[in-house]
Chains A and B, each alone.
Chain A
């Protein structure tokens, strides 16, 4: 291969890692919530969007509007941005669950789906009213000039950073779910809610915790999205949500590893489409993938086969 092609491929590989990481973080929330209460949380993409706005406000509120070149200050701002946004979004998720989904837990499936759509629109419009309808530019505090050379391509450190954030948060989540007492409660609730309750698991707390974790991860995705893309709008959550959901289904809904794998696959697919000149079709392509997966392998790449009305 000639050097130019290698450089382009390397460049696009890291672009795909960036998008894939963001989709993976959002997809984790979809997959966790679906795994535990079998609800497609349509508002989840909008939680991500709110996270991006909150993170922007936090960073701008601290007085930073551009690249921060001092490493210590940068680290501090990053810690504050994640430290504020993630718990806030977690609480938002818990609030949504408490008021919009929990009262309908025993209702037919249509009811919580409709409230989910309603919550999604409430979030979008509240943000639109607060921040205005036009896209906002966010401070890209990790300098884009911080780059390194690889195979002739110039790679911004931020794409490595996003990948690292995704890996760390995913590993942390997997460890939490696999090892901790609360994680075990989550798994048992997902398996059989009533049996878990009989074993002394507090169902409400466990489900709230699931929403907290999933929404906090979406908040983290919002933070990194604002930093890497640089513009955010109130309508952001819709298409990101659709792609992340596709990622979750592709990987096998309910499966954490699958969600991350699916997120990166969708990221690569999107970047490949853009490289081939079909950037404006990326949503159509994602949707096509979603339909194909649902038709030919509804359980996803890593998922267990789902029983009818499982």
Chain B
């Protein structure tokens, strides 16, 4: 990294200096680093769950299956992070784009329409369709003040499932669309229950897992490269001070629209994948709770920090869907008097609510604050020594940079 980038990339340079050759390599070859890192994670996760404490929870195939489901939320969180974290636009109806991606796949590849377009073609189409809807929603509303956007997206997130539910002639209403195709590997003859290693099916979770890992890797590369690009810096400028950004020549409407479209298309990808995995879509899968869960993941992970957000989404999903469920089974199994009556999942949204309020009040930068955030929040002097995070930026000045 050249010296003239220092004001913007101060954090990364100090990391290279601290960590030596590895740091130097990672900052020079960012995409390769992401690919290698993701490959390592993808290879290690299925191995880790065979170790004692985790292997007691469920079988390896079940773990791998829930990893690919968690991946859906990682994608959603990464996409929402572009909108909320990077560009500072509060989108409360993000699940709508997820729904649009899922229904796009359901239309393109199911017995409902009798179209059977391959998964690999519909994947980008789903992303594009979601992006188009993002632009259609954003174009009139992104000109307005931020809080109006929040309420409009909230409404949009509420309306999309209602439309899918009520327009039953075209969407099969509440029953949803079943009989969705699973992805096929070109050149492989995969009949249901064929049991081949490369076939996508309920009993063989590995192909979905690998596809999800590839999707996340691609999204991570795109987002990581965008962060430092002209567009990424424009998002940041708008987030910090829209008026100042506009007067410095940033086209705020276009820039915000791009953030919105990119976030929506990531959700579209997640939707296509989710529909192909579940082989079923219905309006109930895309209620406000999904948007809220993803928002909680983004806020907890650290607004604007894609690594923190991805990790936060993964951890929260695993806690919510593996750990809490197991906790219920655990107490049920032992007939512990009071605890077996508590449905821990019931408290999940209460916990999210408490977590959102608590995080905003006490630690607005999230559990895994980004180094760049630290660079924004602190002077270069106290940054030099701190590798991960500085003192808690609680003053009004510090908060001023958070959204």
Min CB gap A194→B, angstroms:
14
Confirm or deny: B396 has a beta carbon within 8 angstroms of a beta carbon on chain A: yes
Confirm or deny: A124 has a beta carbon within 8 angstroms of a beta carbon on chain B: yes
Binds B, one of A56-64, A111-119, A197-205: A111-119
Chain A residue at minimal CB-CB distance from B84: A110
**What are the 10 tightest A-B residue pairs by CB atom distance, in nearest-first order?**
A110-B403, A118-B356, A121-B353, A108-B403, A125-B350, A122-B353, A287-B155, A118-B357, A107-B399, A106-B396
Q: Assuming the A-B contacts A108-B399, A114-B360, A117-B295, are A39 and B147 also in contact, with contact meaning beta carbons closer than 8 angstroms in the complex?
A: yes
Question: Does the CB pair A125–B360 fall under 8 Å?
Answer: no
Question: Does the CB pair B399–A104 fall under 8 Å?
Answer: yes
Confirm or deny: B25 has a beta carbon within 8 angstroms of a beta carbon on chain A: no
Confirm or deny: B169 has a beta carbon within 8 angstroms of a beta carbon on chain A: no
Q: Assuming the A-B contacts A118-B353, A126-B350, A284-B163, are A294 and B399 also in contact, with contact meaning beta carbons closer than 8 angstroms in the complex?
A: no
Confirm or deny: A153 has a beta carbon within 8 angstroms of a beta carbon on chain B: no
Q: Name the one of A106, A122, A245, A287 contacting B159, with C-beta atoms under 8 angstroms.
A: A287
Question: Does the CB pair A109–B147 fall under 8 Å?
Answer: yes
Question: Does the CB pair A290–B152 fall under 8 Å?
Answer: yes
Min CB gap A235→B, angstroms:
9
Question: Does the CB pair A115–B357 fall under 8 Å?
Answer: yes
Min CB gap B113→A, angstroms:
24
Question: Does the CB pair B350–A107 fall under 8 Å?
Answer: no
Report how far A111 CA is from B88 CA in the complex, Å.
10
Report how far A248 CA is from B361 CA in the complex, Å.
28
Confirm or deny: A29 has a beta carbon within 8 angstroms of a beta carbon on chain B: no
Other 10 A-B pairs with CB < 8 A, given A109-B146, A121-B349, A126-B350: A42-B154, A100-B361, A114-B295, A115-B361, A117-B295, A122-B353, A242-B154, A284-B166, A290-B151, A309-B242
For A124, list chain B residues within 8 Å (CB).
349
Min CB gap A94→B, angstroms:
16
- B binding-site residues for A, Cβ under 8 Å: 84, 88, 90, 92, 140-141, 144-148, 150-152, 154-156, 158-159, 162-163, 165-166, 242-243, 288, 292, 295, 299, 303, 346-347, 349-350, 352-357, 360-361, 364, 396, 399-403
Question: Does the CB pair A120–B353 fall under 8 Å?
Answer: yes
Question: Does the CB pair B158–A283 fall under 8 Å?
Answer: yes
Q: Name the one of A115, A128, A294 contacting B356, with C-beta atoms under 8 angstroms.
A: A115
Chain A residue at minimal CB-CB distance from B150: A113
Confirm or deny: A134 has a beta carbon within 8 angstroms of a beta carbon on chain B: no
For B147, list chain A residues within 8 Å (CB).
38-40, 109, 113
A–B Cβ pairs within 8 angstroms, 21 of them = A103-B361, A106-B396, A106-B400, A107-B403, A108-B403, A110-B403, A111-B402, A112-B360, A117-B295, A119-B357, A120-B353, A129-B346, A242-B155, A245-B151, A280-B162, A280-B165, A280-B166, A284-B166, A291-B152, A294-B140, A295-B140
Encode A179-200 as 1/0 by CB contact (under 8 A) with B.
Answer: 0000000000000000000000
Question: Does the CB pair B141–A294 fall under 8 Å?
Answer: yes
Q: Assuming the A-B contacts A114-B295, A239-B158, A309-B145, are A109 and B403 also in contact, with contact meaning beta carbons closer than 8 angstroms in the complex?
A: yes
Question: Does the CB pair A108–B402 fall under 8 Å?
Answer: yes
Chain B residue at minimal CB-CB distance from A107: B399
For A238, list chain B residues within 8 Å (CB).
158, 288
Majority-rule SS of A interface residues:
helix
Question: Does the CB pair B349–A125 fall under 8 Å?
Answer: yes
Report how far A294 CA is from B153 CA in the complex, Å.
13
Report how far A87 CA is from B361 CA in the complex, Å.
27
CB within 8 Å: A-B pair count: 147
Encode A199-232 as 1/0 by CB contact (under 8 A) with B.
Answer: 0000000000000000000000000000000000
Chain B residue at minimal CB-CB distance from A295: B140
Min CB gap B146→A, angstroms:
6
Min CB gap B172→A, angstroms:
16
Min CB gap B62→A, angstroms:
28
Name the interface residues of A259-310: CB closer than 8 Å to any CB of B.
Answer: 280-281, 283-284, 286-287, 290-291, 294-295, 298, 306, 308-309
Min CB gap A47→B, angstroms:
14
For A40, list chain B residues within 8 Å (CB).
147, 150-151
Q: Name the one of B140, B156, B364 contacting A287, with C-beta atoms under 8 angstroms.
A: B156
Q: Name the one of B141, B350, B352, B354 contacting A129, with C-beta atoms under 8 angstroms.
A: B350
Q: Which of B146, B242, B356, B401 has most chain A Cβ within 10 Å?
A: B356
For B140, list chain A residues within 8 Å (CB).
291, 294-295
For B360, list chain A residues within 8 Å (CB).
104, 107, 111-112, 114-115, 118
Q: Assuming the A-B contacts A122-B353, A281-B162, are A106 and B399 also in contact, with contact meaning beta carbons closer than 8 angstroms in the complex?
A: yes
Chain B residue at minimal CB-CB distance from A120: B353
Question: Does the CB pair A284–B159 fall under 8 Å?
Answer: yes
Report how far A290 CA is from B150 CA in the complex, Å.
12
Question: Does the CB pair A114–B299 fall under 8 Å?
Answer: yes
For A111, list chain B residues within 8 Å (CB).
360, 364, 399, 402-403
Question: Does the CB pair A121–B402 fall under 8 Å?
Answer: no
Min CB gap A128→B, angstroms:
7
Q: Assuming the A-B contacts A110-B403, A113-B90, A114-B299, are A104 and B361 also in contact, with contact meaning beta carbons closer than 8 angstroms in the complex?
A: yes
Report how far A103 CA is from B150 CA in the complex, Å.
21
Question: Does the CB pair B400–A118 fall under 8 Å?
Answer: no
Report how far A120 CA is from B242 CA in the complex, Å.
28
Chain A residue at minimal CB-CB distance from B398: A107
Question: Does the CB pair B353–A119 fall under 8 Å?
Answer: yes
Report how far A283 CA is from B303 CA in the complex, Å.
31
Report how far A299 CA is from B163 CA in the complex, Å.
28
For B400, list chain A residues within 8 Å (CB).
106-108
Question: Does the CB pair A117–B356 fall under 8 Å?
Answer: yes
Q: Assuming the A-B contacts A294-B148, A309-B145, are A121 and B396 also in contact, with contact meaning beta carbons closer than 8 angstroms in the complex?
A: no
Question: Does the CB pair A110–B90 fall under 8 Å?
Answer: yes
Min CB gap B148→A, angstroms:
6
For B402, list chain A residues within 8 Å (CB).
107-108, 110-111
Question: Does the CB pair B347–A129 fall under 8 Å?
Answer: yes
Report how far A106 CA is from B90 CA in the complex, Å.
18
